[in-house]
Amino acid sequence: MKFSDILGMASGGMWRNKTRTILTIVAIFVAGFTITLTTAIGAGVSNYIDKQTAGFGAEDALVITVASDSTSTGPVVYNPNSVNQFGQSFNAITTEDIAKIEKIDGVTKVTPFETSSPSFIQTSGDKFILSSQQLVAGQNLDIIAGSQPKNGEAAQIVITPEYVTALGFKNDADAVGSKVTLGVLNPLKEIEEVTATVSGVMNDSLLAAGRLYVNDTLQSKVTTIVQQGLPSTVTESFFAAVATMDSTDTATVDLIKADLTKEGFSGQTIADQIGVVKQVFDAITIVLTAFGVIALIAASFGVINTLYMSVQDRTKEIGLMKASGLSSGRVFAVFSFEAALLGFWGSVVGLLGAWGVGSIVNQIASTTFLKNLPGFTLMQFPLPSVIGIVVLIMTITFLAGALPARRAAKLNPIDALRYE
Amino acid sequence: MDHPSDAAISAVNVRKTYGKKENAFHALRGVSLSVGKGESIAIVGKSGSGKSTLMHILALLDSPDEGSVLFGQSDVSTMRTAQVNKMRNTHFGFVFQQFFLNGRQSVLDNVMLPLVIGGMRPSERKKRARAALDAVGLNDKVKNRANDLSGGQKQRVVIARALVNNPNIIFADEPTGNLDTQTGEQIEQMLFDLNREQGITLIVVTHDPEFAAKFDRQINLVDGQIVSESRRAA
C-alpha cells in the first residue's frame, strides 16, 4: 500500500464522524492556541529585553565600582576619595585604580565612566533639560533613524522621538544630521554652549529611560567645561569604570570578578544587572506554557478516546481490509496517522487563532498600555517556534493514537468480520 | 488425503479448537479436503458444524491447530505473515453475507480497496475497478455512494470487489443470505458464470440445500467432521 493511500485512508477515516472529529480538534486547538500565545509573548518579551540589553551595554563590558564596605556597622569611615553621585556618596575610582584594573588577566581595556552631562538641549526655540552619557564600545542602541554616535568623529548625539517633536523637527529623518546647541554648566554656574550634530534617533530605553547618548568627542568637550579649573583630585576620579573583557564565558567572568574583589572593587556585567528581569519574564512564560501543556495532555486523552471509538466503529472495515491482505503494520499506520492529522489540524487552527488574536492585541497594545515602551512588540511568532509547536502537538497526538492503533492492528480479521 | 497437483488448495487433517479444557469447542476434528482448480464447492452444515471455520482456514484467515493447508505446492504454515497477506491480496476474492461496504464512499472506491492495499497505481486501479463493475452490470453506479444502492446492487458491488484482483479463488460465506429469492438467484448465477467462464475456483459456505445442489461438489460437515460428499449429477 502506498504512503499516499495510507494518508488518504487516515484522512478519510478522520472525517467519518465529523462532530466527534471537530470536538477533538477543538480540544487540541485550545492547547495549541494557549501554547502558541504564551510562546509568542515569551518571544516578544525576550526580544525586547535583548534589544534593551544591547542598548544598555556590550555583553563583554564589566561595570566596575569600588566595593562598599558593608561589613562594619555604624557610620562609614570617611574616605577622601569619595565622590557624590546621584545623591549618594561613592568611593571614586582614580586613575591609579584604572591602571591596577588594567593589569588584571582577561581585562583588555578600562574606560573611566564620565558622568558629566549638559544641562539643556536647544535648536532655535525652547531649551529642554537632558541627561546624556557616552556610548560604550559594543553598545547597540535601538536606532530607528540615522545611526548611533560614532567615537572619533565630530561632536555627535542621538536623541529620542520625544526630543524630535520637542525640538521642532518634522520627523525622525528630518532630525538626523541637524545641528543642536547644548548648554553645559561650568563650576562657576555659567552656561557654556557646545554645538553637536544629531547622528540618529533611537527608541527610548526601558532600563535607562530618558538617557541620551553622545560620542567621545562631545563627552570630552562637556567634561572639560564641567571640570574647568578643578583640581586633579576631582578630574581624575570617577564614579565607575567600564572594563572590556576578553571572553564572556562564565568561568572567565567569575575569575575577573574574583580578582577585582581582591583589589577592593566590584564588577557587574550587563547580564548581572538585567539578568533578574529576564529570569522573571522567563519564569512567567514557562508557567504560562505549562498551562498550555496541561491543556495538551487533556486534549491527547480526547484523541485516545476519539480513536478508540473510531476503531470500534470501523471494526468490520478493519476486518475486511485485513482479510484483503492489509498488514497489521499498515493498519497501525492508518490509525496513528489519523491521530497525527487530528494534531495537525488542531495545532494549525490554534496557531492561526493565536496569530490573529496576537495581531489584534499587538495593534491595541502599541497604542495603549505599551505606548510608553516603543519598540516592544508584545507577541512575536518566529517561524521555527511555530513549526516546533505543530511538530510537538503532532508527535503527542501520534503517541496518543498509538494505543488505539495497536488495538486496531491486533484485531483478528475473522473476529472483526463477525463483530456486531 | 493427499494433495493432487491440479488442486487449487488443500486442507490435510486439519483440527481447530476454540477455548480451553472443559470449555473447549472442537470446531474441526481432522478434516481433509482438496479443491481442484476451477472446481465449485459448497460446504454445507448446520450452525456450529465448523463450516465457517473450515472456510476461514482454507482462505488463510485462520490457522489450524494441527494439520496443514497447501496452496499450489507450498505449505502455508511455513510462510511468513507478509507472504500470506500478499497471497490473500493477489489470489483470493471474498464475498460475505454482510456486505462490508463503506457506505460513505463511492462504489468505485469500495471496489478498488484490494488494489489500494496491493499498492497499485491510481490510474491502473481505476481502470480495473471500472472493468469489474462492468462485469457485474453496475457501470452506471460508479460514482454513487454505496449506501444509496439496493441490497442486490450492494452484493454485486461486493462481487466486483472480489474479482477486481483477478483472483484464482473466490470465497463466499452465505452470499445470498441477506437477499430475497429473486436477487439471490441473480447473485448465484453471477458466481457460477465467473466459475464457468473465467475458471475461478468457487468455495461457498451455505445452509441452503437448493443452492448447494448447484455446485460441482457438496461437502457435508457435522460436528467438525466431513460425514458425506456428493457430486452433482453431470
Does B17 touch chain A if contact means CB atoms closer than 8 Å?
Answer: no
The per-residue pLDDT for A351 is 92
A325, B118: Cβ pair inside 8 Å? yes
B118, A323: Cβ pair inside 8 Å? no
Q: What is the pTM of this model?
A: 0.71
B85, A327: Cβ pair inside 8 Å? yes
**Which residues of chain A carry a pLDDT beneath 70?**
55-58, 68-74, 76-77, 79-90, 206-208, 274-275, 372, 420
E strand or H helix that includes residue B206 = strand B201-206
The per-residue pLDDT for A80 is 66
Does A317 touch chain B if contact means CB atoms closer than 8 Å?
Answer: yes
pLDDT over 90, % of chain B? 43
Question: In whole angstroms, how large is the CA radius of gyration of chain B?
Answer: 18
Chain B interface test: which of A315, A320, A420 (most B C-beta within 10 Å): A320
Does B51 touch chain A if contact means CB atoms closer than 8 Å?
Answer: no
Mean pLDDT of B123-134: 92
Does B18 touch chain A if contact means CB atoms closer than 8 Å?
Answer: no
Minimal Cβ distance to B100: which of A320, A325, A328: A320
Does A16 touch chain B if contact means CB atoms closer than 8 Å?
Answer: yes
Q: Taking the alpha carbons of A367, A292, A44, A344 in that order, is the dihedral positive or negative?
A: negative
Q: How far is B55 from chain A (nearest CA, A)?
A: 11
Does A2 touch chain B if contact means CB atoms closer than 8 Å?
Answer: yes
The per-residue pLDDT for B204 is 94
Q: How far apart are CA A300 and CA A308, in angstroms?
A: 12
| Count of positions (residues) in chain B | 234
Q: How far is A13 from chain B (nearest CA, A)?
A: 10
Contacts of B113 (CB under 8 A, 6+ apart): A320, A321, A324, B161
Q: How far is B193 from chain A (nearest CA, A)?
A: 23
Cα nearest neighbour of B109 on chain A: A9
Chain A interface test: which of B47, B61, B117, B123 (most A C-beta within 10 Å): B117
Q: How far is A320 from chain B (nearest CA, A)?
A: 7
Is the distance from CB of A249 to CB of A142 less than 8 angstroms?
no
Is the distance from CB of A324 to CB of B114 less than 8 angstroms?
yes
Cα nearest neighbour of B60 on chain A: A323
Does A320 touch chain B if contact means CB atoms closer than 8 Å?
Answer: yes
Cα nearest neighbour of B83 on chain A: A325
Q: Model confidence over B170-180: pLDDT tens digits?
A: 999 988 887 88
Calculate the average pLDDT of chain B. 88
Q: Is the pLDDT higher at B228 or at A237? A: B228
B81, A2: Cβ pair inside 8 Å? no
- As to burial, measured by CB atoms within 10 angstroms (0-12 exposed, 13-18 middle, 19+ buried), residue A351 is buried
Place of cell 568611593: A91
Does B223 touch chain A if contact means CB atoms closer than 8 Å?
Answer: no
Is the distance from CB of A224 to CB of A187 less than 8 angstroms?
no
Does A326 touch chain B if contact means CB atoms closer than 8 Å?
Answer: yes
Where does the pLDDT of residue B1 fall: very low under 50, low under 70, confident under 90, or very high at 90 and above? very low
A321, B88: Cβ pair inside 8 Å? no
- As to burial, measured by CB atoms within 10 angstroms (0-12 exposed, 13-18 middle, 19+ buried), residue B228 is exposed
Q: How far apart are CA A319 and CA B189, in angstroms?
A: 27
Contacting residues of A for B88, CB less than 8 Å apart:
323-325
Number of CB pairs < 8 Å for A and B? 56
Q: Model confidence over A137-181: pLDDT tens digits?
A: 777 888 888 988 888 888 999 998 888 988 888 888 888 988 999
Does A340 touch chain B if contact means CB atoms closer than 8 Å?
Answer: no
A325, B82: Cβ pair inside 8 Å? no
The per-residue pLDDT for A311 is 87
